[in-house]
Amino acid sequence: MIEMMVVLAVVAALGAVAAVGFRRNEFSNQRARFTADVEGVLVQARNAAVDQQTQVRVAVDANQVVITAFDTTTNVWNIVGRAALENSNASLITAGGSPPVCIYGFTSGVLPPSRTEGHGDPPTDCAAGTQTLVFEADGRFSDPANAFNAAPNAGATLWIGDRSIPTSPRYALIQVYPGGLVRTWEGLE
């Protein structure tokens, strides 16, 4: 009887540890899924600009990326796509008053594709306002407000921060190259 109680206690302890591990893995999956969604809407924005031969705006704030395309027949900007943190599949990465995952915003420049380290200094916190990137019909993009891309044809890097461990934030970088190539790196510290 005592042996059975010991076995039951060990199994219960292992189950508790496994449940915590599963929850942590679920958080990582939600963060990776959001990063992939953001990368997807950036690619969708460039492709829509080229395919429809029009301008496509990418509006970025701390919680979402929204793309709109200019319809030349009606002179109206129509929503084409969106990636947002309030998605029902993102409950762990949006929990609490200060969500652990947010979009830090764009910075100027990208790394050459052959380089995989030395990503530079990230912004210090979630984006405070909205930043806008505009894709042109030939696939190039511009920063209409010159807020983050003062050097023309330097590319832009979108930072997504994971602050679940406050002393050691992790970042995902989505880089948009001058010709429109989009590349993502995850798990950077």
Domain 2-188 has CATH 3.55.40.10: yes
Among 33-37, 44-48, 140-144, 164-168, whose mean pLDDT is lowest? 164-168
User: Per-residue pLDDT tens for 50-79?
Assistant: 999 999 999 999 889 999 999 989 999 999
pLDDT attached to residue 169 = 83
Give the residue from 166, 113, 109, 130 showing the smallest Cα distance to 57.
130
pTM (2 decimals)? 0.78
Greatest mean pLDDT range, 75-79, 127-131, 154-158: 75-79
Whether 170 shows a pLDDT value over 80: the answer reads yes
pLDDT attached to residue 55 = 94
Long-range own/partner contacts, residues 21-26 (CB < 8 A, 24 or more apart): 23/92, 26/92
Helix then strand then coil, in percent of the chain rounded to 5, is 30, 30, 40
Amino acid at 11: V
Q: What is the mean pLDDT of residues 22-31?
A: 67
Q: Would you kindly state where each structural domain of the chain is located, as residue ranges? A: 2-188
Exposed, middle or buried by CB within 10 Å (0-12, 13-18, 19+), for 36? middle
